[in-house]
């Protein structure tokens, strides 16, 4: 069965891109984003977020912070009838100060890895 899906970037699309947002106290929503997610969810769309999170690779915050933020964002979307089906993030960055994230990968946008994972 074919399902319809929408892929969103996170920073600058769903929330204002204020630089390395990693907690709800730093998040400012883009006007209408929560309402749009609610409407699209009610219309039967699967909603996915694909986001580069180089702040992890830079050591500004951890992957657990990204996961917590995404859970909190989904709770907020729920207040508007919305639901992100799944969040995907890439913590990698070539030349990263945190060595385990210093790599070229297939998930860092513009590479399609996160989208390919979502549709598989």
Backbone angles phi, psi at 45, to 5 degrees: -75, 145
Distance, CA of 16 to CA of 36 (rounded, Å) = 15
Contacts of 112 (CB under 8 A, 6+ apart): 106
Catalytic residues: 9, 11
Query: Cα dist. 104→37, 43, 49, 55 in Å?
Result: 32, 37, 21, 16
Terminal-to-terminal C-alpha distance of the chain: 13
């Amino acid at each position: 069965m074919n399902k319809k899906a929408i892929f969103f970037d996170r920073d600058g699309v769903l929330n204002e891109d204020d630089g390395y947002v990693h907690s709800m106290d730093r998040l400012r929503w883009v006007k209408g984003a929560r309402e749009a997610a609610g409407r699209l969810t009610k219309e039967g769309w699967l909603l996915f977020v694909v986001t580069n999170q180089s702040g992890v690779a830079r050591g500004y915050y951890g992957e657990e912070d990204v996961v917590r933020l995404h859970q909190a964002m989904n709770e907020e979307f729920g207040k508007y009838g919305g639901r992100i089906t799944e969040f995907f993030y890439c913590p990698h960055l070539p030349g990263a100060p945190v060595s385990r994230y210093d790599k070229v990968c297939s998930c860092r946008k513009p590479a399609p890895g996160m989208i390919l994972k979502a549709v598989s």
